[in-house]
Structure 1
């Protein structure tokens, strides 16, 4: 049995992994889908003071309190930064990292530092009182009406500080096996380049950025390959 911790990206919550988690559990594995502070069902805690460090604390707290070990730690999009820093803090509890269309920085880099200029400009344009307004589902590759409706009902504003706070890494994370899944390889974000710069193997699943929504079975099957 493998223990998976699936960490959602910006504006989402643990809810977005529902179908992926169900398939992993059907295969006999243990799955956790935490919601990061200020998002999803924890949106009542939203504050401009919530940053990357808060979300890293969420994940290290889960690993500690549930006494999880030999974990496959999966991060989608923004959560690539979250899971890498959490693993760097607690490398003895993580057996593998899987980055799904995810950001990955080096020590001292933030998502703002890694993002292309057009995205930074868009982020500034939708920031109100320290929170980022939710994007249209099409921006994350979701266009089917029923999936659009599902996302629109659940996406919540993202604290701006999570994108500007630099990651803190000691280098311990670099000893942990890591692989990537590229869901929008032809898109404008640098996920493929970041994977290449770090030398991580990549699997292409060309289904749009929110693969856990648009292709949950296919994404789950890739994750099961690591079990």
Structure 2
């Protein structure tokens, strides 16, 4: 039986995975939607000292308190930072890391560091970095309004009732989780991994990543490793709300080793199934 730990992105908790988790369970898998400190129904537990290490420890404790010998760790958006950090601390308990429409965390960099240095779109970069100035009491970033979700959240295909729920349940996000650098030992570097791109709205795609690899960018050459498989989902940034069934299917395929493989300095070559 495959077991998934599902780690959500900024402002949201484990509730966002409800439909996808249910579908994984119906397929015979186990699913553990994680709610990180300060988010979801744990929003009251955050404080000025809540940072990335807090969220990593949340996931380490989730891993340690399951009976499953190995978990597929799925990180969506910001959630990939604590996911990778937890995999680094418990590599022997992780079967695969799945990057769900997520960046590639780097040792010694915070999320804001990577936004500052690597995000090409200036308007989006400044908007994200400007969250620090909006932080209430200097440590918690207010959740987006419904209009801000519509404008900035790439909520393509999210039904109106789910979008309303997203705006209603979104919590202030602890600023320290975005400013604290990620520290990695390299213990999880050899784990199998998968990437899922949500392509609606002009997001990254497998083909675009191949072009980036072909450009020689040293930060992404490791993604041509044959243990990496990639999938494109034709939906917006919140597939667990817009396409929960399709997302569950792709997660199951990823655990089976499917996905498109990339080649260093060449064109993409097919994996088992696309």
Kept after mapping to 2: 8 A contact 1:38/1:46:
yes
Counterpart residue number, 1:148: 163
Q: How big is each residue's C-alpha offset from its partner over 1:143-194, in whole Å with a ceiling of 9 and x where there is no partner?
A: 5421221111111010000000011101111110111111147248xx9569
Matched positions, count: 225
Q: Deviations over 1:2-60 (max 9, x none)?
A: 01111111100000000000000000111111200111000111222111100000111
| Residues 79, 103 of structure 1: 8 Å contact kept | no
Bigger Cα displacement from structure 2, 98-107 vs 75-84: 98-107
What's 1:107 paired with?
107
CA contact (8 A) 1:80 1:103 kept: yes
CA contact (8 A) 2:197 2:203 kept: no
Counterpart in the other structure of 2:176: 161
Preserved CA contact (<8 Å) 2:112 2:129 = no
Q: Which runs of 5+ in 1 are unaligned?
A: none
Query: Are 2:231 and 1:203 aligned?
Result: yes
Deviation at 1:125, TM superposition (A): 4.2
Give the whole-Å Cα distance in 2 for the aligned partners of 1:84 and 1:69. 18
Distance 1:198 1:132 in 2: 33
Q: Which runs of 5+ in 2 are unaligned?
A: 120-124, 257-274
Which of residues 210, 213, 216 in structure 1 aligns to 2:244? 216
Tell me if 1:123 matches 2:131.
yes
Q: Secondary structure at the match of 1:73?
A: strand
Partner of 1:134: 143
Contact 2:13 2:34 in 1 (8 A): yes
RMSD: 2.1
> Which secondary structure does the structure 1 equivalent of 2:231 belong to?
strand
1:198–1:163 Cα change, 3 Å:
farther
The answer to whether the Cα contact below 8 Å between 2:16 and 2:240 also exists between their aligned partners in 1 is yes
Q: What is the CA–CA distance in structure 2 between the aligned matches of 1:97 and 1:46, rounded to whole Å?
A: 26
Deviation at residue 118 of structure 1 after TM alignment: 2.1
TM-score (norm 1): 0.91
Task: Note closer, same or farther for the CA distance 1:65–1:215 as it changes in structure 2 (3 Å cut).
Answer: same
> Relative contact order (C-alpha < 8 Å, sep 6+): which is higher?
1
Look up the match of 1:9.
Answer: 9
